[in-house]
């Protein structure tokens, strides 16, 4: 992101004070976080759009987005201050990932001027939700090995293929969709990113039932989906460069380091108040073992916050490569595992129903492994850190520099 001239900006402390007063006067307290399908209903998405519009009208949407695209053009310090003050208030957190922190941020970095002016203000007003069409049913972690096809037909493009694991696609308006446009070059070189209307003719969306009963993930089938020429995001056959930038934003978002969020994610694992409440409700708050567990969880949260600040400064100054964002992503997963494990251990039998009847600890434990995959698998994060940050040798890849139409598949 471009660093604003701080001399022309409202002081952070003044901004924090103004945000605190506005939040107290405008937004209700955050409701209890719903579990499973109840947290992914059509009504919840409608409420998130409404809350985003309230932020926009109040002058607190898109804090780090440029002014010409509907944002405030302020610094990450302003964003951090607002996120801290907004804890405890109802916020449009569902729009953070992937709409604001990943997709909109990628459009900001790689979109044309027309694309930025068409989509970013609409996103910041809560009028558009964005989603990612990246992974494919047979792709695994080999994103560049995708086989969704985009073919030129006159001035248009026609897409055919299938995508999967698209969070919230059923509620979205547009998708960033990666497709293959050249089969005669190595796999990374023949890809193009497209901005696709999610409900365009030819797109079928099916929701996937998860272990907790929710159906947030989706699979999409694209059958002769026609797009105009200006739907290309970035350059034709330059989609891998756009994807790398998109994945950078995804790692930052999942790690809790994105400057583009509307408020702080409640499930980020950086607040032990839920652990304290479980201990009190189950009569264990004075147990030395339980207090030690809570202290360890709190210490991990403090390290997490300091790590985010250090990595963010390092990338901004050029002392660290952008790939260092994978360090935050990996640590965030490890911290989330620890928080879920600790809640389960403290809750004991109450994990299934909860002392308040919610069963939150048990639900979070069921979804624990999601943090192994969100924002790219932890194994991929370790590869990126080893190869692109530490400079270790790249792992073997038999299809490297081989034209994609000569790569054996399906074995």
Q: Which domains does the chain have, with CATH numbers?
A: 11-128 (1.10.540.10), 132-239 (2.40.110.10), 269-389 (1.20.140.10)
Strand partners, 191: 180
What confidence score (pLDDT) does residue 316 get?
Answer: 84
Q: Residues 93, 99, 105, CA angle at the centre, nearest 5°?
A: 115
pLDDT band for 37, please (50, 70, 90 cuts): very low
**Which residues are part of the catalytic machinery?**
250
Residue given tokens 């929701």 in the structure block: 207
Tokens of 244: 């790398």
Euclidean distance between CA atoms 237 and 157, whole angstroms: 13
Computed over every residue of the chain, the mean pLDDT equals: 90
What confidence score (pLDDT) does residue 267 get?
Answer: 42
Give the torsion through C-alpha atoms of 235, 326, 83, 97, to 10 deg. 50
Euclidean distance between CA atoms 249 and 255, whole angstroms: 10
Judged against a pLDDT cut of 70, whether residue 355 lies above it is answered with no
What confidence score (pLDDT) does residue 2 get?
Answer: 61
Share of the chain above pLDDT 90, in %: 65
Strand partners, 221: 162, 204
Euclidean distance between CA atoms 261 and 96, whole angstroms: 5
Tokens of 262: 């509307």
CA nearest to 315, candidates 239, 257, 381: 257
Tokens of 29: 């307290």
Mean pLDDT for 84-111 is 95
Q: Residues 270, 274, 280, CA angle at the centre, nearest 5°?
A: 140
The distance from CA 240 to its chain's CA centroid, rounded to whole angstroms, is 19
Q: Which stretches within 348-401 are classed as H helix?
A: 360-366, 378-384
- What would the pLDDT profile of 9-33 be if each residue is shown by its tens digit? 999 999 999 999 999 999 999 887 6
């Amino acid at each position: 992101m471009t660093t604003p001239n701080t001399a022309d900006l409202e002081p952070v402390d003044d901004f924090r004070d103004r945000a605190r007063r506005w939040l107290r006067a405008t937004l209700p307290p955050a409701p209890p976080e719903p579990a499973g399908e109840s947290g992914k209903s059509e009504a919840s998405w409608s409420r998130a759009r409404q809350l985003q519009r309230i932020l926009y009208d109040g002058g607190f949407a898109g804090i780090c987005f440029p002014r010409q695209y509907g944002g405030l053009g302020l610094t990450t310090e302003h964003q951090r201050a607002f996120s801290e003050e907004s804890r405890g208030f109802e916020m449009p957190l569902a729009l953070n990932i992937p709409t604001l922190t990943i997709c909109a941020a990628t459009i900001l970095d790689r979109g044309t001027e027309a694309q930025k002016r068409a989509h970013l203000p609409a996103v910041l007003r809560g009028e558009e939700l964005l989603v990612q069409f990246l992974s494919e049913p047979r792709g695994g972690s080999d994103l560049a090995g995708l086989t969704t096809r985009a073919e030129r037909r006159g001035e248009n493009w026609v897409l055919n293929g299938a995508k999967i694991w698209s969070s919230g696609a059923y509620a979205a308006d547009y998708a960033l969709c990666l497709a293959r446009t050249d089969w005669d070059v190595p796999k990374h070189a023949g890809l193009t990113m497209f901005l696709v209307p999610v409900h365009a003719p030819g797109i079928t969306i099916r929701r996937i039932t998860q272990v907790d009963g929710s159906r947030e993930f989706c699979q999409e089938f694209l059958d002769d989906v026609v797009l105009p020429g200006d739907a290309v995001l970035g350059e034709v056959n330059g989609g891998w460069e756009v994807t790398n930038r998109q994945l950078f934003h995804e790692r930052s978002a999942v790690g809790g380091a994105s400057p583009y969020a509307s408020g702080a994610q409640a499930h980020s694992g950086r607040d032990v108040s839920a652990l304290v409440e479980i201990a009190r409700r189950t009569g264990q708050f004075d147990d030395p073992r339980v207090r030690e567990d809570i202290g360890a969880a709190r210490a991990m949260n403090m390290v997490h916050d300091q790590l985010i600040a250090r990595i963010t400064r390092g990338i901004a100054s050029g002392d660290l490569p952008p790939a260092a964002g994978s360090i935050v992503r990996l640590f965030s997963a490890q911290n989330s595992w620890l928080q879920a494990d600790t809640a389960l251990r403290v809750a004991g039998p109450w994990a299934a129903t909860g002392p308040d009847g919610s069963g939150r600890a048990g639900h979070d434990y069921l979804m624990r492994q999601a943090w192994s995959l969100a924002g790219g698998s932890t194994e991929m994060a370790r590869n990126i850190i080893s190869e692109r940050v530490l400079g270790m040798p790249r792992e073997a890849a038999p299809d490297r520099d081989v034209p994609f139409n000569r790569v054996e598949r399906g074995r």
